[in-house]
Structure 1
Amino acid sequence: MILLANATDVLGGVTAWTHQMARLFGAHGHRVQVVGIHEAELKLILPEPPAYPVTALYPAHPPTPWRPRSPLGHFDLLARRRESARVAAKRRAVAHLSEIFRAAGPGALVIVTQVWPMEWVLEADTTGLRLIGMSHESYEYSKRCHRFRWIKNSYPHVDRWLTLTQEDADAWIAEGFDNVGAMPNALGSLPELPSPRTEKTVASIGRLDDQKGIDLLLESWASVAGARPDWRLRIYGAGQDEVALKEQCTALGLDGSVDWMGRTDDVAGALAECSVFVQSSRGEGFPLALMEAMASGVPCAAFDCAPGVREIVSDGEDGLLAPPGDTDALADRLLRLTGNPRLRDTLGDRARANVQRYSQTEILRRWHELFDLLDR
C-alpha cells in the first residue's frame, strides 16, 4: 500500500492524517510506504519515527511549468533552459514513482491523498495497481479554485474517488462521476481526561494562512474582547500570513488579549488549557483539529464552511456554528460560550461522547470494507 501526498513532512492536517493512517494500516498487517511529491520547508514533527519507508520525489517544491506570455517570450533562452530542466526533473520523478509502484507489486493499493500528486500518477506506470483518489477539502471549496478542473480531468480514471462526506460525494455524482464514495477522517485519540474547562481561554489551532481565516477570527474577537476582558485568545500555528495577522491584531487594539503561541506539537496539552475552541476557516474538509477539541471535551464555535464541519458538529447540541464568514455571528457564538459555564460543560460533554463515532476502529472497518469491494 502506498499513500501519496503533496509532501510527507509539511505542517498541516493532511500530512498528520497521512501518517496516522500509515501507522494504522501498518498495525493491521498492511505493508505501507508514504511518498510525497517534495520535501517541505515548514515541517511537521511526527510523534514518533515512522516504521515505514518515507520518500520524496523532489528535495523542494518543483517549479511550475513555464509558458511565454508573448511571442517574444519564445526567445527567452534562460527561461527555456529552466523549463527544459523542469521537464527533465519531472521525467526523473515520474520514473522514480514508477519504480516504487512496480516494487509494490500487482494488486497494490495507491491512495492519492490530495489532488495535485495525481499529475505524476497519471504519467507513471500504474499497471496492475488499484488507484484511490482523495480530496481533503469540500466540493464547494474545490469548485472555487483550479483543483476543480484537475478533479474533473483526472479522477474519472481512478478505481474509487473518495470525498470526506456523503454530501460532497453526492455533489460530485451530480457532476457526472460514477466512482465516488465517502470516507471521513479518523479521530486521532481520545484523551484519558477531558479539559477541566476552568481556564478563561479560547484556543485556535491551525496554519496562519488565508484558508484558516485567522483574520476573520481577529475581527470577531474585536467584538468579544471588550465584553470579556478576563478572557484570552490563544492562537496556535505558523504560516506565511503571520506578520500581516500580527499587524492586524495590533491595529484592532487586541494585543492585550491575544497570545501568539506559535506552532505546537502538543495539541492535547493546548486543548487541556482552554475552555472554548474556535475554528474560523474559509474552507475545510473534515477538520482534525475540530475533532481533537471535541475529544478533549472542549465546546467549539466554528464557521459552517463545509459539509465536514456540520457533519462533525451538530449545531446547538455539541457545539455552535455560524454562517461562513459572518464575523458578527462567530462573535455571538463566542460570547455565548465564554459567558455561560453550564453551556460550556453541556456542549463539551456531548462533544466528547459524539465524536467517538469517528474512532480509529470504526474508520478502519470502513476502509477494509472498501478494500474488499475493490478486490471483487
Structure 2
Amino acid sequence: MTQQTLHATALADSAAASRDIFFVSNSVDELGGITSWSHQMARLFSNRGHQVHVLGITPAPAGRRHDLGDDLPYRTTTLYDVHPPAPPSGGGVRRRVDPVDRRRRAAHAAGMRKQAEKLTDLFRAARPGAIVIVTQVWAMEWVALADTTGLTVIGMSHESYETCRRSSRYGRVQRYYKDVDRMLTLTREDADLWIRKGLDHVGAMPNPLPFFPDTPSPRRAKTVVSIGRLHEEKGVDLLLEAWALLAPDHPDWTLAIYGAGEEEQALRRQCAQLGIEASVQWRGRTDDVPAALRESCVFALSSRGEGFPLALMEAMATGVPCVAFDVAPGVREIITDGADGFLAPPGDTRQLARHLATLMGDSDLRDLMGDSARQNIQRYATDLIVDRWETLFRLLDR
C-alpha cells in the first residue's frame, strides 16, 4: 500500500470517527515549545473533524504569556485563576507533624482536588472514544485526581530521557505515567531507555513540522542565526564562546540572536567581555520565525538539553543548514551529521566553532546541505505525523 493510499485511508477513518480530544498542559498560553506544539496539534486535529479542548492548570507566568489570538477553532480552559502556592517542601518528621505545615499541605491537596473536579466534569461529558493527551507530568498530577473512566489517557515527555533523569520530573514520570494507557517519548531511543526502567507501555511520536515555507532561504546573507529563550539550558553562553573563536577570521559575518529571557543581561555582559559586540546582534523575541530564518544561511543550536527541537525543524524546512550540540536523541534523529548539517559533542565549543566556520567558508556546501535539509525534514510532514496519531488512537481502542 502506498504512502498516499495510507494517508487517504487515515483521512477517511478520521472523518468517520470524530473524537473528543483533550490536551492537558501546565499552561494553555505560556511561551515555549510545548505550547506551540499543543496548539499546532489542536489545529491539525480540528481540521480532521475532531472536537478539541486545550486545558491548562495555571495561567502563564508574568511576562511569559503567548498571545493565542481570537480565531482558535477549539476551546481553551485554565483551571486556576492564579498560580497556586507551591506545597510545603519535604523535611523531617518534625516538619511533617508541624500543625502549620500540615494545614498548608491539606489546603494544597484540597485545592488540587477541587480543580480536578472540573476536569472530571469535562471528561464525563465527552463522547465514547475520547482521548486525553497530557503533555507534561506536572499537569498529570491533576489528571490523576480526576475521573478518567472510559477515556484513553496518553502521557507525554517532551524532553530527552537524560534531561528528565537530571530533574525532579524523573521520579514523577515513573509515578504518574505508570498507569496511563500509553506513554510517549519523542524518539525510539528515549522510549527504549524508559522501557528498561520498567515502563513497558512506552512508544515514540516525533513532533510534526511547525511549517514548511514555499520560499526557502536564499542562503546569501552572511548571518548565523540562533532562535530560542535566553535561558541557561539553551546554551547561548556556549554559542558566544564558540563565536569568539571564529569571529576574528570572519569579520563580515554576523551572529543574530533572537529571543528573550532572564539570562539576557548576563549574556550581553559576556559578549562585551569576549570582545565580540560588533558582530553580535540581539534581535529580541520574534513572531516571524520564517522571516528570521530566510535572512540567514546557517542555524546554530547550542543547547545543553533538548527533546525534539522545533527550531531545528524550522531551520531545515527553510533550507538553512544547522550546526548543533548532540545533546539528545531527537537532535541526532533530525540532523544527519555531515549530510544536512553538523553535530558537535555536547559543550564542545571548539568543535561547534569549527563546524560553523566550515559552513561559513563554503557557499556551495551551504547550498548542498540546505537543500538536503529541506528535503529530508519532510519525513515529519504534518499529515504523516497526524496519520500516526490516528493509527495510535485506533490501536488503543482495542
TM norm structure 2: 0.90
- The alignment partner of 1:225 has SS state of helix
Amino acid at match of 1:152: Q
Aligned to 1:279: 301
Q: Deviations over 1:194-213 (max 9, x none)?
A: 10111111111111112211
Whether the aligned pair in 1 keeps the contact of 2:31 and 2:65 (CA below 8 Å) is yes
What are the ranges of 5 or more consecutive residues in structure 2 without an aligned counterpart? Answer: 1-20
1:358 to 377, 380, 383: 380
2:211 to 189, 195, 218: 189
Aligned to 2:281: 259
What are the ranges of 5 or more consecutive residues in structure 1 without an aligned counterpart? Answer: none
Aligned to 1:37: 57
1:219 to 241, 251, 269: 241
1:291 aligns with 2:313: yes
Amino acid at match of 1:178: D
Whether the aligned pair in 1 keeps the contact of 2:113 and 2:142 (CA below 8 Å) is no
Amino acid at match of 1:115: V
Whether the aligned pair in 1 keeps the contact of 2:87 and 2:104 (CA below 8 Å) is no
Aligned to 1:368: 390
1:8 aligns with 2:54: no
Deviation at 1:115, TM superposition (A): 1.7
Deviation at 1:81, TM superposition (A): 5.9
Question: Where do residues 127-276 of structure 1 align in structure 2 (5 Å cutoff)?
Answer: 127-276=149-298
Deviation at 1:60, TM superposition (A): 3.6
Change (3 A) 1:61 1:235: farther
Identity between Structure 1 and Structure 2 (%): 57
Change (3 A) 1:310 1:47: farther
Aligned to 1:311: 333
Change (3 A) 1:258 1:60: farther
Q: Distance in 1 between matches of 2:159 and 2:112?
A: 26
Q: Distance in 2 between matches of 1:65 and 1:283?
A: 27
Q: Deviations over 1:68-89 (max 9, x none)?
A: 7567757987766655543333
Amino acid at match of 2:208: A
Whether the aligned pair in 2 keeps the contact of 1:200 and 1:231 (CA below 8 Å) is yes
Q: Distance in 2 between matches of 1:255 and 1:60?
A: 40
Answer with 105-114 or 195-204: which moved more. 105-114
- The alignment partner of 1:226 has SS state of helix
Answer with 291-300 or 217-226: which moved more. 217-226
Aligned to 1:23: 43
How large is the RMSD of aligned CA atoms in angstroms? Answer: 1.8
- The alignment partner of 1:301 has SS state of strand
Amino acid at match of 1:31: Q
TM norm structure 1: 0.95
Q: Deviations over 1:139-180 (max 9, x none)?
A: 111111111111111212011111111111111111122111
Change (3 A) 1:82 1:241: farther
Q: Distance in 2 between matches of 1:246 and 1:48?
A: 36
Deviation at 1:67, TM superposition (A): 3.9
- The alignment partner of 1:156 has SS state of coil
Deviation at 1:48, TM superposition (A): 6.4
